[in-house]
Amino acid sequence: MRGHKALGVSLALALTLAGWPSSGTSEPILSLVGRFETGVFDAGAAEIPSYHPPSRTLFVTGGDTVWRIDLSDPERPGALEAIAVPANMTATSVAVHGDLVAVALAGVTGAAGRVAFFDPEGEALGAVPVGRHPDMLMFAPDGRRVLVANEGEPSDDYRIDPEGSVSVIELSNGVASAGVRTVRFAAIPAPEGVRQFGPDATFARDLEPEYVAVSNDGTRAWVTLQENNALAVIDVERAKVDAVIPLGYKDHRLHGLDASDRDGAIRIRTWPVWGMYQPDAVIAFEVGGTTHLATANEGDARDYAGFSEETRVGKVVLDPVAFPDADALQAEHALGRLKITNAMGDTDGDGDQDALYAFGGRSIAILDARGQILWESGELLEQIVAAEHPGGFNADNDEADSRDTRSDDKGPEPEGLAVGRVGDVHLLFVGLERTSGIVAFDVTVPSSPKYVGYAHNRPKSEALAEAGTGDLGPEGLLFIAAPDSPTGEPLLVVANEVSGTVSIYRVGNEPSSR
């Protein structure tokens, strides 16, 4: 077998790997100050947060509800009258700008979605149709436009596979006169390196826009195409696609991962595997007037009744030239349990696997505005959790005593992102969906981020299956800057979809030494 062993890691080593000293911080970067409980467990009751500073109201999507939460006292957030979602629709995303609240509403597969607008009190102001299955939306910084990523997911039998698209909602003349332009991919030739693999799919139907970020001047947007392992660049003014950029593959011969849920230990080591980055969240931020992007490289497989690309290394035939140690690699304690795609890897068409492609990068990345990766965290996220929270290492977010059970399947699953500034320090926060932890990085030098802290409120294993015992499954993250905060201190809000809770953290000072 190729690679080296790593039977766990010390905290000092994890910090050294990050380029940060193991001591000298003035206080924790994140301190839990309060929680809101929906009382609904493991049903997606708290997913995406947004905030209205004048009324100190937090809006959080919860499937058939948009929660309105009084954040005047973050230690004791209270429920306000919620916004009801129309029958047969699901609230997938929410965003606030000024006194306008926008909510993305998805219906049944293949049906057009909607974006509904409300005032901060929850009064309906109007709605407009958008593309199929709107999954995420955000306002441009000036509030004149809302951009919507319409995922266009297929039906479970794969008989319906709508086109993915991006909607640009024009609000210059108010909600009553809102217009919608649709960014389509039908006229774009499939670039080499972008995954197109659904049954009988055109390029436009195969693309699934997941998440959108917008530049500070509102002229450019970046959209993750998660299943396709790609990033789209959008000219917002023209509502046109500038480029679809393949993100390439991560070499796990250089960056380790824990690949087995049957080895009985934390074993982060290198393997002859390629990782598909497949980012979920993307966020744009400026440092020194230059735009950068951050991505959470969660990974996602198409796994439907009508089509599935999932298999395991132990279930495929490995090419004897590419993998002379195939028997050893396919053992359950080695690579045998690792989930890979069956849609690629047979490069010569002879029926065996010449290369192995796993789902997700188990990482975050910093990119430039052209979509080129400047920095990628390698194995650092798994190393951090192994050091800071070994009991939750690659655990599932809805099962007790589940340490290591996700090692064969995307590991900690970085999903949500938030960015904010504290003093002169730019901070990036990433939510680990499975581990239920939050990792903080200093991205003041975007090409060389520094790990600065880890927090979690994962309950003890014996209480894991009970509602109200902790925070599980961070989905959406939101940074509230000090001037907008009810306490005058910066806050981080985390919506946790499994526990159905919203956790509020105080963001402390930057580390005092480097």
- Does residue 179 lie within any of the structural domains? yes
- As a whole number of angstroms, the distance between CA 207 and CA 162 comes to 9
| 439, 465 contact by CB (below 8 A) | no
pLDDT confidence of residue 17:
43
The region that residue 107 occupies, defined by phi over 0 for left and psi between -120 and 50 for alpha, beta otherwise, is beta
In a domain? residue 260: no
Q: Does some domain include residue 21?
A: no
Closest alpha carbon to 476 in 417, 405, 397: 417
DSSP 8-state symbol, 389? -
Report how many domains make up the chain: 1
In the chain, what's the furthest Cα-to-Cα distance? 66
**pTM strictly above 0.75:** yes
pLDDT of residue 509: 65
98 within domain boundaries: yes
Tell me the residue ranges of DSSP E strands in 261-385: 274-276, 282-287, 290-297, 310-312, 339-341, 357-359, 363-368, 373-376
User: Is residue 54 situated within a structural domain?
Assistant: yes
Residue 188 lies in a domain: yes
Angle between helices 11-18 and 380-388 (to 10 degrees): 150
CATH code, 43: 2.130.10.10
Pick the closest to residue 52 from 144, 150, 140, 119 (CA basis).
119
Residue with tokens 């794969």: 158
Residue 202 belongs to some domain of the structure = yes
In a domain, residue 83? The reply is: yes
The whole domain housing 165 covers: 38-246
* pLDDT at residue 463, as a whole number: 65
- For each successive 10 residues of the chain (514 residues), what is the average pLDDT? 32 42 59 96 94 98 97 98 96 98 95 97 98 98 98 96 97 97 94 95 96 98 98 98 98 98 96 98 97 98 98 98 98 98 97 98 98 98 97 90 94 98 96 97 98 93 66 97 98 96 89 35
Q: 247-284 pLDDT, tens per residue?
A: 999 999 999 999 999 999 999 999 999 999 999 999 99
